[in-house]
Structure 1
Amino acid sequence: MKPPLTGIKIADFSRVLAGPYATMLLADLGAQVIKVERPLVGDDTRGWGPPFDKDGNSTYFLSVNRNKEGLELDLAEESDQQAALDLINSCDVVVENFGPGGMEKYNLGYSKLIGNNPKLIYCSISGFGTSEKAALLPGYDLLLQGMSGLMSITGSDESNPSKVGVALVDVITGLHAVVGILAALRARDEQGIGQKVELNLLSSTLSALVNQASAYISAGVIPKAMGNAHPSIAPYQVFDAKDKKFIVAVGSDPQFVKFAGVISSDLIGDKRFATNQLRVENRDELNSKLSVIFSTKTADHWISTLAKVNIPAGAINNIKEAFDLAQSVGLKSVVEVDGVKSVANPITFSKTPVEYRLAPPNLKG
């Protein structure tokens, strides 16, 4: 059977990561995506490297532009503006991240487009929304990681805020964009209407802060960085074994009883650790005991010991080891199209599978 979005056509005017990631996922689901880029220069990420693949392509660009057709347009030229308008008029969805007023500058604003194509889904991605003040703020992932509060809860402690090791704000926003576009397409199917779908990096990240955001808005608690520990669960963090670091994740009181049974029976009788709340309150004392115990054996020993009683524990893998793990458990995590490898779409369907049709487009110049 055909992929679920077969027949949907998308004009992709987005650049860098959030928009291109969203449109690639939609393309994997069967949508026809036409990526519009500046002649000769293209998407900014074409020049982001190293690393580059064997053909000199930026691996950053390759990571989010699979399954797309390419079209080069100089939107400063009236003839290319008309070509862009003709393309959009033939599409179901347009995605852009030019920022507030960006598409209007090229005579491609929402009001004009929806007037020509009343069933159009227009997805606009910005950094901070569309207010006058928001338009003045630069929407870069690293800045948003800091400005959203994400960096304040990431790192070893309050004095060492740290970014996440990938542009997570862009990825989260791209995923929200996919949800919004799919919901808008559903509404169009039911009600016959097109509409504007707006995303911004700040709101998407605040939503993704989940329990940490709730701690503030519901209890007035301002979370802080705790390294690899969890603010509400213990033991749930990284520990040092005799040879290397590893992870323990005890998520409930029954789990802790089983955990203590194979680690140290003394822990079971210690009233300071009887409940999760008490373990969180006495985290330092618990960690002090566990650190001494874990230092006596290797990480593999502890991981296998805990696995026997179904206690979550695991290694801290590098990227290669992570892909090796995926393969070892039967996951196909890498796909190849026309000699270009990329990470497989994580969604599987029993009857309408995703397709890998096209390698990322090359510039004609």
Structure 2
Amino acid sequence: MRSPNRWAMLSLGMAAQGAGCVFMYGLPFLLPTLQAELGLTLAQAGILVGAPSAGMLATLIAWGWVADRHGERLAMTAGLALATAFLTAAAFAAHPVALGVLFALAGASGAAANAASGRVVLGWFPRERRGVAMGWRQCAQPIGVAVAGVLAPLFTGVRGTLLAMAAICAVVTVAVGALVADPPRTAAARQARAASPYREPALWRVHGASMLLVVPQFATAAFALTYLVHARHWDVAGASALVAAAQFAGAGGRLACGRWSDAAGSRVRPMRRLALVNGAVMVLLAAAVATPWGTPLMIAALVVAMSGNGLAFTAVSELAGGAWAGRALGAQNTGQNLVAAVTPGVVGAIVAGPGFGPAFALAGVLALAAALVTPSERAPAPAYAA
């Protein structure tokens, strides 16, 4: 029987990941609308848009287990179908609490794509091409956010935008269920019971550095639109278009970082260097928030903050090995989304108090700390085994 085309599987994995990202990470585009329609403060609206990430925390490792035991296609199809249902219900919710609960449930369901699509990509690509492949897969997040940025001005209010997001999830659910082929698993791989990779500090350190790097990523992603509108006096449509363009640039950055890591034969060395750049740009942005330089520095910070995400995921899968990859990727996502869930609310509170400068400065300091936490080079990781 002819093997499926690996690039087709990559495309479907990206589609699944992107459909979830459209609502999980695209909701910040609705911050001004949520405040206007529901009468929320910026901090309250920030908590609301962080609800999908909070929902993911409860299910990422569980979805990884489902993918390990029952296949990636089943996990992604079931998760996206549930997310479609919860988003549709959220479109008709009138109370902020109900909306937050439904957002959390949609995030808990959409977590299946985060946990399983990485295994689809990693299972079909060899190690020497995996950095680029994972870079493509991680492009799904900025592309999904960019799609959300395009959708937000096109539809009327929260309801219309949420229904559009639900429709995207529904279409991708059908495509994934019909076309995804699970990576082959040998009998030996299925029976493997490798020693825990968490006995060594390297995997813990990659998790920790990734969690620190979530703060600048979400500080910029969640509040770029608000900063441009309120501090730099852009109109909402123009600011949305600019932020959407930055998402595409960030997608290109993820591809470039993936190719960089393949050429270097290392994931952690590029990850450390990019964290240093990330911290420097955030500190410069903090110093320039009240100047015309704030706008280009915000866009630069957006691009840099999202560019290295695929490096960490590839490093985690390779450090964990095939027997632990699903659980390790689930733990990686859990740690990142734990920070992502609280970052919008905390940053929103700082912005509402001391202002944008201190909020962005804190994010920059944490990015610099991530460079210190990232593990040093080690012997080449074993090839991924499905």
- TM-score, scaled relative to structure 2: 0.25
- TM-score, scaled relative to structure 1: 0.26
Structure having the larger proportion of residues in strand: 1
Question: Relative contact order: is structure 1 or structure 2 higher (C-alpha 8 Å, sep ≥ 6)?
Answer: 2
Higher Rg: 1
